[in-house]
Amino acid sequence: MSASDFVNTAVEGALDAAPALAAMPPAARRDLLHAAADALAARGEEIIKVAADETGLTTARLTGELDRTTNQLRLLGDYVAAGRHLSARVSPEAGLRQIVVPIGPVAVFAASNFPLAFGILGGDTGSALAAGCPVVVKAHPAQPLTSRLLAEIVTPVFPPGFFTMIEGGADVSLALVAAPGIQAVGFTGSLAGGRALMDTAAARPQPIPVYAEMGAINPVFVLPGAAADRTRVAALAAAVTGSAGQLCTKPGLVIVPDSADGQAFAEDLAAAVAGTEVHRLLTDRMAAGHADWVSSAGQLGLPVQVGTSSPAPVAVIAPASALTGPLLEEHFGPAVVIATASPSAFPSLAGDLEGQLTATVHASDEDHEAARVLLPVLATKAGRIIWNGVPTGVAVVDAMLHGGPWPATSAAWSTSVGTAAVERFQRPVALQNVPADLL
C-alpha cells in the first residue's frame, strides 16, 4: 500500500465519522475527553516508563507532563460542555445570529520534545476533538513505542474514525496534508518541517490553514537594576538547561547591560549554564546538531563556556554588534547566547528580532521607565511577555497564548495551548431570520 493509500484510508474513516462527531452534544464530547484522560491516568506508570526509556527525559519531568496531558483533555472538554466555545454575536435588528461549526477532519503532527502533552493525545488533538473534529494524528518517528502505547490505550475510548494514529516518514506527512478530506493542520516542530506542510497545504485545490508552532530564541532583556541582582541567574540557567534545553520556550538569547553589573551577570549566567548536568537529547540527530553548535561556537572568537557533561551545555558571550547569523538562530539543546548592549539600545535590538513565542523582561522598580519604552516593542514581536520570570513552564489555562508572529508560528492570532486553541478548528456561520425552533 502506498503512502497515499495508507493515508486515504485513515482520512476516509475520519470523514465518515465527522457528521456524528459534529452532531454530538458538547457534553458528550467532554465525556469522551474525560474518559481518554482517565484511561491515560490509569496506566500512568507504564506510560512514563516507556516514554522515559525512549526519550531520555526524566521520570519527574514525564510525570508532570502526563498530569498536564490529562488535565488539558479535561479542561478542553469542560470548556465546550459549558458552551464557552460558542459565539455570543447576536444582532436582533438585522435578524442575525452567529453560530460556530466544526471544520471537519484535522491532521495533527505529534512533537518530539513533549511526547505526551504535544504527542498524539496532546493539545492539538484535544482541542480538535473538543471542537467536534475527527483527528488523524501522525506519530513522531522518534517515539514510536510511546505513540503506539498511547494509541492502544485511548483508541477504544472513541467511536471509529474519531481518532486515528498513523506512522511514517515525510511522504506520509505530505500525503496527509494533501488528502482532500483534511480541513486543517496542527503542527509543532521545526521551521523547515512547518514550511513544507504549509507549502503542501497552499498547493491543494482547496488550500487549508496550517497552525504550525516552529520555535524561537525567546529573548530575555535584563534591565540595569535587575542586572545588579545576581539571584536571578539560577532561574535563567535552569530555564536554559531544563529538559536538556529541548523546550520551544527555552531562553536562547539573554541581553544584559554593557556595564560592570551586566558583565558580571553574563559571566555568572554562562558559568551556571556550563556547570549544569543535563540528560541525553531526544535523538542522535539532535545530539549531533548540538555538538556541531558547541564546536562552531568555539570558533567564533568570542568568550565561550562549555560544560564537561555530555551533552555539553554551552554559553556564548557576545557584544550586541555581533548578533548576526548563528547567534540569532534557535539552537536546540542546552545552549544560550548572552549579549551585552547599552540599555538605550534594547528597544532597537528588540525591534530587529524576528517573531518570537515569548519575550521576557527582568526589571527592578527603578527600571520601570525603561520598561515602558521596551514593552510596546516586545508586544509587536512576541506572543507572550513575561515579567521577572522565565518563559518555560507554559500554563494550560484560559488566558494562555502559545503562539507568536512569523516565524515562531504560522498564525500569530492563534494559540496551541489553552482553551482558545479550540477556536482554530471551528468556523463561524451567520444565520439570518432562521426560526428559533430550528436553531
pLDDT digits (tens, 9 = 90+) for 63-91: 999 999 999 999 999 999 999 999 989 99
* pLDDT confidence tier of residue 6, bands split at 50, 70 and 90: confident
**Alpha-carbon distances of 148 from 54, 111, 117, 299, rounded to whole Å:** 12, 14, 15, 43
The pLDDT of residue 5 is 82
The pLDDT of residue 33 is 98
Task: Tell me which of 4 and 216 has the higher pLDDT.
Answer: 216
Reported as a single tens digit per residue, the pLDDT across 20-33 is 999 999 999 999 99
Read off φ and ψ for residue 105, nearest 5 degrees: -55, 135
The pLDDT of residue 314 is 98
Reported as a single tens digit per residue, the pLDDT across 329-345 is 999 999 999 999 999 99
Q: Strands 314-319, 356-362: parallel, antiparallel or unpaired by DSSP?
A: unpaired
Secondary structure (DSSP) of 66-109: HHHHHHHHHHHHHHHHTTTTS---EEGGGTEEEEEEE---EEEE
Contact 146, 50 (CB under 8 A): yes
> Which sign, positive or negative, has the C-alpha torsion 180, 36, 138, 131?
positive
248 is catalytic: yes
150 has a pLDDT exceeding 80? yes
Query: Can you give the length of the chain in residues?
Result: 439
Average pLDDT over residues 286-298: 96
Indicate which residue of 46, 213, 330, 369 is catalytic. Answer: 213
* pLDDT confidence tier of residue 436, bands split at 50, 70 and 90: confident
Q: How far apart are CA 351 and CA 365, in angstroms?
A: 24
The pLDDT of residue 289 is 97
Reported as a single tens digit per residue, the pLDDT across 225-242 is 999 999 999 999 999 999
The pLDDT of residue 109 is 98
Domains and CATH numbers, the chain: 3-214+409-438 (3.40.605.10), 220-387 (3.40.309.10)
Percent with pLDDT over 70 in the chain = 99
133 is catalytic: no
DSSP assigned state of 198: H
Percent with pLDDT over 90 in the chain = 97
The pLDDT of residue 1 is 61
The pLDDT of residue 321 is 96
As beta bridge partners, residue 221 has 255, 361
Contact 334, 311 (CB under 8 A): yes
353 has a pLDDT exceeding 90? yes
Question: Residue 288 has which C-alpha cell?
Answer: 549531533
* pLDDT confidence tier of residue 49, bands split at 50, 70 and 90: very high
Average pLDDT, the chain: 97
42 has a pLDDT exceeding 70? yes
Q: How far apart are CA 51 and CA 59, in angstroms?
A: 9
Q: How far apart are CA 221 and CA 278, in angstroms?
A: 25
Secondary structure (DSSP) of 110-140: --SS-TTTTSTTSHHHHHHHHHT--EEEEPP
Indicate which residue of 12, 93, 152, 248 is catalytic. Answer: 248
* pLDDT confidence tier of residue 4, bands split at 50, 70 and 90: confident
